Amino acid sequence: MISFENDYSAGAHPRIIQRLTETNMEPLSGYGTDVYCQNARRKIREATECPEAIVEFLVGGTQTNAVVIASMLQSYEGVVAAETGHVSVHEAGAIENTGHKVLTLPQHQGKIDAGELKTYLETFFEDGNHEHMVFPGMVYVSWPTEYGTLYSKAELEAIAEVCHAYEMPLYLDGARLGYGLMSPEADMTLPDIARICDVFYIGGTKVGALCGEAVVFPKGNAPKHFMTRIKQQGALLAKGRLLGIQFDELFTGNLYLNISRNAIEMAEQLKRLLHDKNYTFYLESPTNQQFVIMENEKLEELKKHVAVSFWEKADDTHTVVRLATGWSTTVQDMEELGEWL
């Protein structure tokens, strides 16, 4: 059985496991104050070219979104996101649980549009009743999006420009950031993202770590007492080393980008394979997730050998299926998949 079900079905990159093993018996201080967290922070400041950046490590994506968004909004503000944004749909109301509304904009292959954002904001502030409404307080984008698509640098800069005209921070959810950066379609580097956004996170869980996301405030603009806010939301790890060691290793010798590149190379092979086999694409993305329409019978057969992900019903006899590559996908996985498709 091989798996193209998602990008978090394997454990961690072997180098991470090795470092956890090597450092295991060292006594280290807790709560993110250890030397590995310090090293990881330094390396991320270098990789983002943001010497002033504040970097904190959290455990998972939904947690990170909730902590960051709740920490940066005023109580009367909500977060603007695509109607298909992860925070809008698939976080069980974690944002609303912190008291904030997710204000949705139309999605275009998972992306919001700077023009539509501007129109929304203009209309909001023109409305004589806007003091009875939730104020837009920050903008959330994901890169890659939930559909694997990417904002171009121009698109993201246009969104940032609108945000800053309205004095709202722009937050980028980088759960799969590495896969975006290594996409042939990407025209942004990590320093570009750090320059354009006000806060973002570098996803570990889906890019080679056992767990962990690195939140970056590129201009040192973390909310006051951010550590206490993290603690208050139950997100502070006693053994912060678990996160520090992983990110220290991911940012040593370019590991993060190298393993991301593997996922993209495998995804390119995957797309060729699907085309060769004449599958109809529901969405052909530039990153590690591909969406095709399969006959239900064919799908049932395939699932005996290959784990894939149900996305949605296409019609009574067809299903939209997601196949994801990842840092751990191998050429051999691809060959086996080719046989079963």
* C-alpha to C-alpha distance for 183 and 265, rounded to whole angstroms: 9
Give the residue with the Cβ less far from its own copies, 242 or 257: 242
Give the residue with the Cβ less far from its own copies, 102 or 114: 102
The two structure tokens encoding residue 124: 């909001």
User: Closest distance between its own copies and the C-beta of residue 217, in Å?
Assistant: 17
131 burial level (CB within 10 Å; 0-12, 13-18, 19+) = exposed
Give the residue with the Cβ less far from its own copies, 2 or 299: 2
Q: How many Å separate Cα 132 from the centre of its chain?
A: 33
Give the residue with the Cβ less far from its own copies, 53 or 237: 237
User: Closest distance between its own copies and the C-beta of residue 288, in Å?
Assistant: 15
CA distances from 87 to 45, 90, 105, 141, 322 (A): 27, 6, 13, 10, 20
User: Closest distance between its own copies and the C-beta of residue 191, in Å?
Assistant: 28
Collapsed DSSP state (helix, strand, coil) of residue 30: coil
Q: Which residue has the tokens 């190298």?
A: 258
Give the residue with the Cβ less far from its own copies, 37 or 156: 37
User: Closest distance between its own copies and the C-beta of residue 212, in Å?
Assistant: 10
User: Closest distance between its own copies and the C-beta of residue 167, in Å?
Assistant: 12
128 burial level (CB within 10 Å; 0-12, 13-18, 19+) = exposed
